[in-house]
Amino acid sequence: MLIVFFGCKAQKEKKASSSLSIVEYDSHVHLMSPQLISYWKGLGIPFSKSEDNYSDIDTILQNNKAEHIDLIGMGYVYGNPEYYEGDDGYKKMMKENDYLLKTAKKYPNRIKPFFAVDPLKYYAIDEVERCYKNHPKGGLKLHFNASQVYLTEPDHLNKVKQVFVKASEYELPILLHFDNWHPKFGKPDIELLVDSILNEIKPIQIQIAHFGTSGGFNDKTKRFIDAFIELKNQKRIPSKHKILFDISAVALDKDSEGVSKLTEKEFQELNLYINKIGIENIVFGTDYPLYNSIEYLNILKEKVGLTDTELKQITKKNTATNNKG
């Protein structure tokens, strides 16, 4: 369950084998408030490390080892009754976002915060506006799985479009966990995103988390990428937008909460799909605490076969983000 949000399992740190001993940029690092951790522990959700590893920014930066990070909030969980049963979900979401934004301000030159909303809730636009006023140089995280977004539902499509419109007006980059676990998820969802949303909004940067699914690399991942590339080749995806693929939690060398580690053949196939997407369209991310940046960098080099030149390219902050300021 938890790979939907982050990886909790402990992983022994590996020696760096790549010549890159320092990672410039990690685009996918999770933060949880002590309150959210306490609540989830009360539900019986296990945490294999001390709370500081998830909630304390100094510990996170020390563990992750990247010079710059995009810090990802998890306030969207309060919109899902499976993960929160209280009737004060909006207040809880606000507090989680406030914790994220306050944390980011401790290291403004190293951290870009991505606050989270549930786009289906009546308060979604209000929360985007509130967080933007608090931190105009941040970004927006949308998690279609946690929020159970189905673009094939007209009401869902309309609500999501309103959030995208607002984000584009504010020039907020969006980190999008697009997969919703519906058995028919795939090309129709991508077509709706492109035809009914992206074609009708101002230019925006979108980072598609986990290569479009919820981690790992399998037939579902390949179908998503193939469908996206087909639409791109048909010139249906507006060139005004900057769309990046986030490789976090894709190259798994261990089973993680129901998502299987890759076989040697799958690691080789992943390399082929990286070439299909284009290395210039891929951004490095660890899904910390699933991995730290050095661990994951080594997996991409040793298992996937990326060169040091390619690794430098995907970890370059200025090519991966349109940070304002």
Query: pLDDT for 35-66, tens place per residue?
Result: 999 999 988 888 888 999 999 999 999 999 99
| Alpha helices, H only, the chain | 34-42, 52-55, 57-64, 89-104, 124-134, 154-170, 187-192, 219-233, 264-277, 293-299, 308-314, 317-320
Q: Which residues pair with residue 116 across a beta bridge?
A: 141
pLDDT at 4 > cutoff 80: no
pLDDT tens for 240-276 read 999 999 999 999 999 987 889 999 999 999 999 999 9
- Asked if the model's pLDDT at residue 199 lies above 50, the reply is yes
Q: Is the backbone peptide bond immediately before 289 cis, with ω within 30 degrees of 0?
A: yes
Q: Is the pLDDT of residue 5 over 60?
A: no
3-state secondary structure 38-107: HHHHHCCCCCCCCCHHHHCHHHHHHHHCEEEEEEECCHHHHHCCCCCCCCCHHHHHHHHHHHHHHHHCCC
**Angle, to 10 degrees, between the axis of helix 154-170 and the axis of helix 124-134?**
20
Residue 86: the pLDDT is 82
In this predicted structure, the answer to whether residue 143 has a pLDDT above a threshold of 60 is yes
Confidence grade of residue 12 (pLDDT, cut at 50, 70, 90): very low
Residue 85 has a pLDDT of 81
Question: Tokens at residue 221, please?
Answer: 């991942």
Identify the pLDDT of residue 123.
96
Q: How far apart are CA 43 and CA 37, in angstroms?
A: 10
Instruction: Give 310's DSSP letter.
Output: H
Q: What is the pLDDT of residues 289-315, one digit of tens each?
A: 999 999 999 999 999 999 999 999 999
Find where tokens 């676990």 sit.
181
Q: Considering the chain, what percentage of its residues have pLDDT values greater than 70? A: 91
Rounded to an integer, what distance in angstroms lies between the CA atom of residue 146 and that of residue 259? 16
pLDDT at position 20: 66
- Predicted confidence at residue 6, as pLDDT, reads 45
Query: What local confidence, expressed as pLDDT, does residue 7 receive?
Result: 43
